[in-house]
Amino acid sequence: MLKKLRIHDFILIEQLDLHFKQGLTVITGETGAGKSILIDALGLLLGQRADSGVVRQGAEQAELNGWFGDDHIQRIISKNGRSRAFVNGKSVTIQELAIIGETLVHIHGQHAQQDLVRPDYQRQVVDERLTPNLALQRVQDAWTTWKTLHDELQRLGGQGAERTAQIEWLRYQVIELQEIGIEELNLPAIEAEHRRLAHAEQLQHNVQQALLYLDQDDAAVMNLHRALREVQAVQAHDKRLHSSVELLDSALIQAREVADELRHYLDHLDHDPARLLALDEQFNVLQRLARKHQVHLSELPNYAKQLQERLQALEKDEKRASEIQPELQLAVEHYREVAAQLSLQRQQLAEELSEAVTFHAQQLGMPHLRFIIEVSPQLTALPSFLGTDNVTFLISTNIGQPPKPLQKVASGGELSRLSLALQVVISQTNQIGTLIFDEADVGVGGGIAEVIGRLFAKLGLQRQVLCITHLPQIAAFGKHHFHVSKHAHPSHTHIQVKNLQKQERIKELARLLGGLSLTEQTIAHAREMLEDSAKNL
């Protein structure tokens, strides 16, 4: 229960301390006086998003404090937009604050009827009555198991047709490369042999010519020998010639050696047309495969290795996929089983909730309305985290009229009253200590407003209820009454909230009944309403 609310430098409020009690507290005031600012402050205190616009003009920060039972919640919003939150002095995140707030206060806002037509909200209304929701937890656990297997299977290539086709194609390519022994081929050596055989005649001719120059009358050798003798004869006179003597001596030796080596080369030079033809055919095959796979000839062995590795990986995936298939089937079957259990619980709760909302909606001026929550299992759909059910709100507002989806047939006034009826039913079963209704009386009046007031007052017997209202029929049922007013000054505007006593309440009810001009008749009527509401509760 909310015991105390302290607001400092928030929008138009400079400083405000409000104390709250058990039962129904009504909040009234002129249109635009700032009644909803109190609700906004509570919303921020309980984890709603904030921006710097909520800081009062000229202030550095807005500070909100709320005392709920033994818990103290504080929210500070600076003018630069930074926000901090504390629970019992301990810093918490806004997400943590919102979770805590959901257990303390429920706010039925002015636009709650818009939630009423959202499919996700309609399912949520049913599921929130499953407390603790063990059936939904089992569905979510089963979905997680199924999703893990499903995602792994997709990563492995889905159900297998595409993967199998890829394996067959890779296997064909690998076998094609293996048949020519691509991994064992020494391409550099083959290329060298092919080049030598292809140019054998040119090699023979050029080597023979080189020998001719070396061997012809031993001209090269003789000339080197003569040059060596000439330099040797005079080297004693100049030591700088020693190096030249050594080089000429070495050149003479190398000339004789190269001649011997070239003669040996010619003796062993191959002329093998058959081998050359075989190499030509092998190179044609290799070049064709290189073009086919769009790689350079030298890259073909490594490419073949990569294909083999890809094939092995896919074959491994295929094996794992074949193992996953029965696991996945079992996971689907288990999911369907627990989803069916959840669906059955939803259907039972939907029937109870439909009857309760119908009853309250009829009390709120829709005597022929039938409210139906339809739970439809989608048995052929893929598993979902929230089960297989579509949950739809249906209504029939007239006798003999078939029920239709709420969003297609309900008027604004009907949505407002249905939303109120639903919130009343929900609040009767949850454990939230404080209920806030922000102008839940929109679109109603007269006798229906009195019914709503009595309904709020009955709720107030069990918990704390705060209600912003413009209707005297509702305000008269309040156990406590706050009046909100706005005051303009030359330099600023501020909001004042006053806890009304009995005579002040009578005047406020009279204002709600007849406007600013209070007459003895409206005051008498207001006094009568206040006394009757106390008797009829």
What would the pLDDT profile of 138-156 be if each residue is shown by its tens digit? Answer: 999 999 999 999 988 887 7
Q: How far is Cα 494 from Cα 209, in angstroms, rounded to an integer?
A: 115
State the pTM of this model.
0.65
Residue 330 has pLDDT above 90, yes or no: yes
pLDDT at 254: 84
What average pLDDT does the segment 364-386 reach? 90
Residue 338 has pLDDT above 90, yes or no: yes
Query: Which burial class, exposed, middle or buried, applies to 130 when counting CB atoms under 10 A from its CB (0-12, 13-18, 19+)?
Result: middle
Residue 373 has pLDDT above 70, yes or no: yes
| Least confident window among 43-47, 311-315, 344-348 | 311-315
Residue 474 has pLDDT above 80, yes or no: yes
pLDDT at 159: 57
Cβ atoms of residues 374 and 387 within 8 Å: no
pLDDT at 191: 73
| Least confident window among 175-189, 346-360, 368-382, 508-522 | 175-189
Helix 219-234 vs helix 242-268: crossing angle, to nearest 10? 160
Report, in this order, helix, strand and coil percent for the chain, each rounded to 5. Answer: 60, 20, 25
Residues 6+ apart with CB under 8 A from 318: 156, 160, 163, 164, 167
pLDDT at 216: 56
| Least confident window among 360-369, 414-423, 458-467, 522-531 | 414-423
DSSP annotation string for 301-353 = HHHHHHHHHHHHHHHHHHHHHHHHHHHHHHHHHHHHHHHHHHHHHHHHHHHHH
Position 335 confidence tier, pLDDT thresholds 50, 70, 90: very high
pLDDT at 319: 77
| Least confident window among 262-266, 377-381, 525-529 | 262-266
What's the pLDDT tens digit per position in 19-66?
Answer: 999 999 999 988 877 888 888 899 999 998 888 889 998 899 999 999
Residue 491 has pLDDT above 90, yes or no: no
Q: How far is Cα 340 from Cα 178, in angstroms, rounded to an integer?
A: 55
What average pLDDT does the segment 296-321 reach? 74
Angle at 262 between CA 258 and CA 268, to 5 degrees: 145
pLDDT at 103: 87
Strands across the sheet with 13-19, in order?
Answer: 13-19, 2-10, 61-68, 71-78, 83-87, 90-92
The total of other beta-carbon atoms located within 10 Å of residue 98's CB is 15
> Which residue would you say has higher pLDDT here, 94 or 221?
94
Residue 6: both structure tokens together: 């302290």
What's the pLDDT tens digit per position in 116-139?
Answer: 888 888 998 898 888 778 899 999
Residue 324 has pLDDT above 80, yes or no: yes
pLDDT at 235: 82
Angle at 486 between CA 480 and CA 490, to 5 degrees: 155
Q: How far is Cα 104 from Cα 411, in angstroms, rounded to an integer?
A: 32
Residues 6+ apart with CB under 8 A from 44: 50, 54, 64, 75, 77
Closest among 433, 492, 495 to 460, alpha carbons compared: 433
What average pLDDT does the segment 164-176 reach? 72
371 forms beta bridges with: 395
Residue 494: both structure tokens together: 């501020």
> Which residue would you say has higher pLDDT here, 407 or 530?
530
Q: What is the largest CA-CA distance in the chain?
A: 154
- Residue ranges of domains in the chain: 161-315
Residue 535 has pLDDT above 90, yes or no: no
Residue 501 has pLDDT above 80, yes or no: yes
* % residues pLDDT > 90 (the chain): 32
Q: How far is Cα 246 from Cα 242, in angstroms, rounded to an integer?
A: 6
92 forms beta bridges with: 85
Backbone angles phi, psi at 443, to 5 degrees: 85, 10
Strands across the sheet with 389-396, in order?
Answer: 370-377, 389-396, 404-405
pLDDT at 181: 65
Residue 464: both structure tokens together: 């704390």
Q: How far is Cα 103 from Cα 100, in angstroms, rounded to an integer?
A: 6
Q: How far is Cα 269 from Cα 260, in angstroms, rounded to an integer?
A: 14
Backbone angles phi, psi at 372, to 5 degrees: -130, 130
What's the pLDDT tens digit per position in 244-280?
Answer: 888 888 888 887 788 888 888 777 777 777 776 766 6
Cβ atoms of residues 391 and 374 within 8 Å: yes
pLDDT at 19: 94
* % residues pLDDT > 70 (the chain): 90
- Taking all residues of the chain, what is their mean pLDDT, rounded to a whole number? 84
pLDDT at 137: 92
pLDDT at 333: 94
Residue 89 has pLDDT above 60, yes or no: yes
Closest among 455, 499, 497 to 473, alpha carbons compared: 455
484 forms beta bridges with: 29, 497
Q: How far is Cα 422 from Cα 443, in angstroms, rounded to an integer?
A: 16
